[in-house]
Amino acid sequence: MTNKNTADADASPLNIVTKLIESRRSIKPVDFSDHRVEDALVWQMLRNANWAPTHGMTEPWRFFVFTGSERSTLGKLLAEIYHQITPPESFKPAKAAKLVSNAERSSHLIVIAMKRQVSEKIPEVEEIEAVACAVQNLHLTATAMGVAGYWSSGKAICSDQLRKHLGLSTYDRILGLFYLGYLSSDWPIGTRSPVEEKVVWSSDA
Ligand SMILES: Cc1cc2nc3c(=O)[nH]c(=O)nc-3n(C[C@H](O)[C@H](O)[C@H](O)COP(=O)(O)O)c2cc1C
């Protein structure tokens, strides 16, 4: 028989949100299965992302979703950009190949961008912070659905070349690429050093 108090405590909003936050993990495409995430689930992630806080209600997050054969097209474009922006002596063919395979192994790819407010009244850093909050909403929603993902921010991804390709202006910024897919193995466990090491608490009590 279930102890009602324990069951209630386990299912409390606080416990649910704490467990969800703790279990969110960055999981790379190499660990994805070939099972496709339903588009409806991705839309729910995007709707939840859209509820991020936003100074001045600028809602600066923009998402460019690639799925189906568009994944491979994006992966190849990223490999090409990497080639263009890398000096020949530092170019690594394996890195270019990984940009393609990571894209092809994912169910959906989401380019994360910040659309700059025309008046530039809100500081740029606050607009970037708002987009980061939106990505956290998206990632937590994916976690709640058992969908794996990770935020990647390589040079090719955050390049002017990709920004222009997506029709974004010089004032806008690409902040990364979010890879989504189902995990093919066990959900990994994360680690953090204690929060007490990062807090200065002042009080007269
Ligand atoms: C803005 C941002 C950019 C990131 N870019 C990369 C990246 O380019 N490559 C990578 O391996 N991980 C990247 N990560 C994910 C971190 O590696 C990951 O959050 C960290 O290892 C902690 O793991 P966890 O998210 O599972 O707790 C990024 C995270 C953030 C917030």
Q: What is the pLDDT of residues 120-152, one digit of tens each?
A: 999 999 999 999 999 999 999 999 999 999 999
* 145: Cβ contacts below 8 Å, ≥ 6 apart: 41, 44, 45
Backbone angles phi, psi at 173, to 5 degrees: -140, 140
Inside any domain, residue 159: yes
- The CB of 136 under 6 Å from ligand 1? The reply is no
Per the structure, how many domains does the chain have? 1
**How far is the centre of ligand 1, averaged over its atoms, from the C-alpha of 7 (Å)?**
34
What average pLDDT does range 145-160 have in this prediction?
A: 97
Summarize pLDDT for 93-110 with one digit per residue, the tens.
999 999 999 999 999 999
Nearest to 40 by CA among 62, 67, 20, 17: 67
Q: Is residue 87 part of a domain?
A: yes
Summarize pLDDT for 43-89 with one digit per residue, the tens: 999 999 999 999 999 999 999 999 999 999 999 999 999 999 999 99
Task: Assess if residue 204 is contained within a domain.
Answer: no
169 falls within a domain: yes
Out of 25, 114, 151, 174, give the residue to mutate to test ligand 1, the one with the largest number of ligand atoms within 8 Å of its CB: 151
Whether 119 is covered by a domain: the verdict is yes
DSSP H stretches of helix in 64-188 = 69-85, 93-105, 124-144, 160-165
For the residues 24-36, what does the mean pLDDT come to?
A: 97
Ligand 1 contact, 176 CB (< 6 A): yes
Q: Residue whose CA is closest, atom 7 of ligand 1?
A: 152
Domain with residue 61: its CATH number is 3.40.109.10
Length of the chain: 205
d(CA 168, CA 105): 26
For residue 2, being part of any structural domain is answered with no
**Per-residue model confidence (pLDDT) at position 22:** 98
Long-range contacts of 155-161 (CB under 8 A, 24+ apart): 155/82, 155/85, 155/86, 156/78, 156/79, 156/81, 156/82, 156/85, 156/99, 157/78, 157/111, 159/81, 159/85, 161/81, 161/84, 161/85
Average pLDDT score over residue span 174-192: 97
For ligand 1, atom 28, the nearest C-alpha belongs to 151
Domain enclosing residue 161, as ranges: 27-185
| Interval between CA 115 and ligand 1 midpoint (Å) | 22
Asked whether residue 9 is domain-assigned, the answer is no
Query: With a 6 A CB cut-off, is 188 part of the ligand 1 pocket?
Result: no
pLDDT at residue 2, as a whole number: 41
- Residue 9 has a pLDDT of 65
Q: Given pLDDT bands bounded at 50, 70 and 90, which one contains residue 8?
A: low
Residue 7: per-residue pLDDT: 54
pLDDT tier, 5 (very low <50, low <70, confident <90, very high otherwise): very low
Eight-state DSSP code of residue 171: T
5 located within any domain = no
Is the beta carbon of 50 within 6 A of some atom in ligand 1?
no
Q: Give the ligand 1 atom nearest the CA of 188.
A: 26
Q: Cα separation of 131 and 50, whole Å?
A: 9
